[in-house]
Structure 1
Amino acid sequence: MDTLNFGVLDPIKLPIAKKLYKAHYPAGKPKRDERILTLTRNQSLSALVRFRTIEHYRLMTGMLVLPEQRGAGLGHQLMTYLEQGELKDGDYCFALSHLESFYSQHGFESIDEDSLPNPLKQLFSRYISGGKSLLAMRYIDPR
């Protein structure tokens, strides 16, 4: 049976996270001021997600499940962990269009770009003007 552990990335391990993103998600560039949560499977780092603070809003970004670990439900398990104590009502994410149903299963709802707060709207506009097919989504805490 697999042993799964969740936690906050120790800042000393930021270079490991940077290396993983560079290899598997080059657009994702983890920074020291971000909150990075991890899922380890059998003591091996398997998934990461970052939270950026932009003014007083939080943007969940850069979710990465290592390619060799995909298909095992780890993304769903990480999201379930986040729902239990990390995600807050009003957190946002910019989801790739094909992942809308994935994030919807975990409390995110698609919103119109005009519903984004201005600092996030500017960032979202910049991303989509670069050709990315993204949806703006907001977390609605069911509690």
Structure 2
Amino acid sequence: MSNLSFGILDPIKLPLVSRLYKAHYSSGKAKKDELTVVAYHEGKLIAVVRFRSVEQFRLLTGMLVVPEHREQGIGHKLIEYCQHSVLQHGDFCFAYEHLEAFYAAHDFKAVEPHQLPNSLKMSFERYVNSGKRLVAMQYQA
């Protein structure tokens, strides 16, 4: 897909991301204290991923590609952009089980929950205990 652009969102534009989440991923909540990376197609916001700081660690969270743009490689391109400009060795994500291969293709490795830092381990356990089928992963550039 041509006419794609990527960048770090200016926090003043967070309402755009909030509207995107409200329309397509109601559990996603954009916050000012997070690093938000976005993808645009022909000037229209079509994908987002956030990085939340938890103590001295970072957690990739809230990745979304709007439904009409899925299955076109946009998620891969967004993560590739992040690999070159945002991701740091040791960053974490809690991937849905069906997305483990997606993140593994971008240098995330599955880790056992007991290997997570305590602050992340508690969050991971809370999500899993609520019924989410997740895999703890760590970025290893």
Which range, TM-score by smaller chain? over 0.9
Partner of 2:121: 121
Partner of 1:14: 14
Residue aligned with 2:85, SS: coil
- 1:32 maps to 2:32: yes
Q: CA deviation at 1:110?
A: 0.4
Equivalent AA in structure 2 for residue 77 of structure 1: K
Rounded to whole Å, the distance in 2 between the matches of 1:77 and 1:20 is 19
Partner of 1:79: 79
CA-to-aligned-CA distance 1:33-67 (integer Å, 9 cap, x gap)? 11000011111111100000000000000000001
How do 1:1-143 residues align onto structure 2 when only pairs under 5 Å count?
2-141=2-141
Structure 1 segments unaligned to the other structure (5+ residues)? none
Aligned-pair RMSD on alpha carbons? 0.9
Rounded to whole Å, the distance in 2 between the matches of 1:84 and 1:34 is 18
> Could you tell me the TM-score, scaled by structure 1's length?
0.96
> Could you tell me the TM-score, scaled by structure 2's length?
0.97
Runs of 4+ residues deviating >3 angstroms: none
Rounded to whole Å, the distance in 2 between the matches of 1:123 and 1:25 is 19
**Aligned residue-pair number:** 141
Equivalent AA in structure 1 for residue 119 of structure 2: P
Rounded to whole Å, the distance in 2 between the matches of 1:33 and 1:76 is 25
Q: CA deviation at 1:85?
A: 2.0
Q: CA deviation at 1:116?
A: 0.2
Structure 2 segments unaligned to the other structure (5+ residues)? none
